[in-house]
Amino acid sequence: MRWVGHVARMGEKRGVYRVLLGKPVGKRPLGRPRRRWLDNIRTDLQEVGCGYVNWIGLAQDIDRWRTFVSAVMNLRVSVKCGEFLD
């Protein structure tokens, strides 16, 4: 989660940012779609009850992002996602 915040602050022109948020081009093989990093991030946020959080916007403020990540990573503490959206 800390790395994702770092990448979100990089900007759209950086290659890592495009890989994180980009969609693959071309044909895909049969079967279920492959999971992207973005899908994994959304799944992680939904598991802790923060699936609706605009994490890219939140990551722009590094202090709020650090607080959010430490709260999310500590699974013993109940997280109230509304605290981070003020």
How many domains is the chain partitioned into structurally?
A: 1
pLDDT for position 58: 87
pLDDT for position 52: 78
Q: Residue 19's domain spans which residues?
A: 2-23+36-84
Residue 30 lies inside a defined structural domain of this protein: no
Residue 67 lies inside a defined structural domain of this protein: yes
pLDDT for position 7: 87
67 in helix, strand or coil?
helix
Residue 29 lies inside a defined structural domain of this protein: no
Give pTM, 2 decimals. 0.68
Residue 59 lies inside a defined structural domain of this protein: yes
* Mean pLDDT split into 10-residue runs, the chain, 86 residues: 85 82 77 81 81 84 88 64 61
Residue 10 lies inside a defined structural domain of this protein: yes
pLDDT for position 82: 61
Q: Which long-range contacts (CB under 8 A, 24 or more apart) does 7-13 make?
A: 8/55, 8/56, 8/59, 8/60, 9/59, 9/60, 9/62
Residue 28 lies inside a defined structural domain of this protein: no
